[in-house]
Structure 1
Amino acid sequence: MDDLTQRQQALDISQSFIVQAPAGSGKTELLTQRYLKLLANCTEPENVIAMTFTNKAVDEMTHRVLSALKLTKQSRPEEPHKQVTYDLARAVIQHSDKQGWDLLQNPKRLKISTIDKATSPPPNYGTAVGA
């Protein structure tokens, strides 16, 4: 199966996928596209969670998602792989506007986290008395 077909299949949000590829092959771009597609089809942005292993990866993914959303204010790019991201980001902005999310003004609504943070219990807000 060729690369384009595999990338298109990975954007099918009705299925789960494991993305394995060497460095520099476009994994983060594909994951960004999938995250955008999920955002364009959810009821609340907090319902879509992206988890990774490092804070650096969290920062990179967050940057890519926000950059894609901001780029929708410009004209559609000519490169085919950038068109996919652009089109998905436009769909998110349209859905966001319809739902009143205003993601560019409220980026904290995007749930991109490390696995440790996503699975750790909430902080203890007090001490039990009389226990």
Structure 2
Amino acid sequence: MTVTVADSAQRLAALDPHRSFAVAAPAGSGKTELLIQRVLRLLALVDEPEEILCMTFTRKAAGEMQHRVVEALVRASKNEQSQSNSQQGDSQSCNGRPNNHQQTTLDLATEALAQDQVRGWRLLENPNRLRIQTIDGFCLNLAQQLAVESSFGDYSEPLNDPTPYYREV
């Protein structure tokens, strides 16, 4: 993937945790990678990983995103172990910014791992602490937390056909 200078600036801006962004781009342009980078950036700042909520439409996409975040953390862990003294220099351009999006992901994952170690999260052993889920999964989680108030009781699976509940309401 070729990233233009303008695109690089927009991608870096999208990593600002104090701002919100809508990302629209064609397939294969790196939207998922950008979202993963943002999650990694936030992991470096929060007290607990559960403070971050990342939602998508499909279970497949949520699983892929979680896999890629964990994969980035694993790569960063291996990179720290194998390149403790050789990481300086070749990953930086003349302006001090990473040369490509993979290096940005690795750098952000390294920062997230540092926070992981300070806070004792052990995300590599406990990846389910990452709240990357579908919109339906998020709503189900809310309903389970408010089981008595919602009158759903201990229901734990999404419905394929909610029609009877619509009629009841």
Instruction: Tell me the residue number matched to 1:91.
Output: 111
Tell me how far 1:80 sits from its aligned partner.
1.9
Letter in 1 for 2:128: K
Instruction: Tell me the residue number matched to 1:129.
Output: none
Instruction: Tell me the residue number matched to 2:133.
Output: 113
Q: Which ranges of 4 or more aligned residues in structure 1 deviate by more than 6 Å?
A: none
Q: How many residues align?
A: 126
Percent sequence identity over matched residues? Answer: 48
Q: Does 1:62 align with 2:91?
A: no
Instruction: Tell me the residue number matched to 2:166.
Output: none
Structure 1 residue aligned with 2:45, among 18, 30, 41?
Answer: 41
- CA–CA distance in 2 between the matches of 1:89 and 1:41? 12
Larger mean CA deviation between 58-67 and 69-78 belongs to 69-78
Cα distance per residue 1:11-69 (max 9 Å; x no partner): 01100111110000000000000010011100100010100000110011011100000
Tell me how far 1:125 sits from its aligned partner.
3.0
The higher radius of gyration belongs to: 2
Instruction: Tell me the residue number matched to 2:21.
Output: 17
TM-score (norm 1): 0.89
- CA–CA distance in 2 between the matches of 1:69 and 1:8? 19
Runs of 5+ unmatched residues, structure 2? 92-98, 148-152, 156-169
TM-score (norm 2): 0.70
Structure 1 residue aligned with 2:100, among 80, 83, 86?
Answer: 80
Larger mean CA deviation between 106-115 and 73-82 belongs to 73-82
Cα distance per residue 1:76-99 (max 9 Å; x no partner): 695621110001000111100000
Runs of 5+ unmatched residues, structure 1? 127-131
Q: Does 1:53 align with 2:73?
A: no
- CA–CA distance in 2 between the matches of 1:108 and 1:85? 20
- CA–CA distance in 2 between the matches of 1:26 and 1:110? 21
Instruction: Tell me the residue number matched to 2:154.
Output: 125
Instruction: Tell me the residue number matched to 2:121.
Output: 101
Cα RMSD (Å): 1.8
